Amino acid sequence: MLIYLKKFREQISTGKTSQSRRRSLSLLPAAALLLVSSMTNAYSAPKTLLVLGDSLSAEYGLARGTGWVALLEQRLKAQKNDTRIINASISGETTSGGRARLPALLAKHKPDVVLIELGANDGLRGLPVAAAEANLRAMGDAARKSGAQVVLVGMRMPPNYGRDYADQFYGVYGKLAREWKAPLVPFMFEGIADQPQLFQADRMHPNAQAHPTILKNIWPQLSPLLGAK
């Protein structure tokens, strides 16, 4: 745009442009300002993040404001980042439940980023890996079709579920992330899975002390999509 303006100013100064083109040129500065303004607004507009998860994101057994989603919101506010966070996580949620709920959530909130933290309850119930994969794929595809970027959060099953099942289950997350070229948090419990003192009495749900580490695991994959540092 600036090169275009410079060229026409040179033509005017040498008398090499027509009257009609001179009139058109007079409108260009305003058009340029509008273009720059719209580009700036598009870049700086606050993002909307939709978190679709289960009890691990729904603050199960925790005081409100101590789960990783709440900690994320606090961290963003400290950076003066106005990302709007919709935590649509429900304790006990499975991939089939998330798949059923997602279309309405996308239509209502129109998120820029969708973080999918689901699958743990499927695995703990021994549900077929193929079904969980199909549900996760449907959710990711729906989010991407809506124009949102997807972040996938991986989960591993305890060894007592059998090596083959655990490997197949965990492999789904990497497979889908590669398919979508989407950010993947390899393992939500990295750094806490082998620390019993960081879990509640049920030994399944992390306590409040563990959630800063969970956020630390998720932050590198999520923050660039929110314009955070």
Ramachandran bin of 181, using left for φ above 0, alpha for ψ from -120 to 50, beta for the remaining angles = left
Q: Tell the residue number behind the tokens 């959630």, with chain if given.
A: 211
**Residue 67 backbone dihedrals phi, psi, to 5 degrees:** -80, 170
202 included as an active-site residue: yes
Q: Is 57 a catalytic residue?
A: no
The residue type found at 28 is L
Which helix (H) or strand (E) segment holds residue 43: the answer is: helix 19-44
Among candidate residues 13, 20, 194, 202, the one labeled active-site is: 202
Q: Is 55 an active-site residue? A: yes
| Catalytic member of 55, 57, 146, 223 | 55
Give 139-174 as a 3 state SS string: HHHHHHHCCCEEEEECCCCCHHHCHHHHHHHHHHHH
Rounded Cα–Cα distance for residues 203 and 12 (Å): 78
Angle between helices 95-109 and 129-145 (to 10 degrees): 10
Tell me the Ramachandran region of residue 161: left when phi exceeds 0, alpha when psi lies from -120 to 50, beta otherwise: alpha
| Residue tagged active-site, from 96, 109, 141, 205 | 205
Catalytic positions, written as ranges: 55, 202, 205
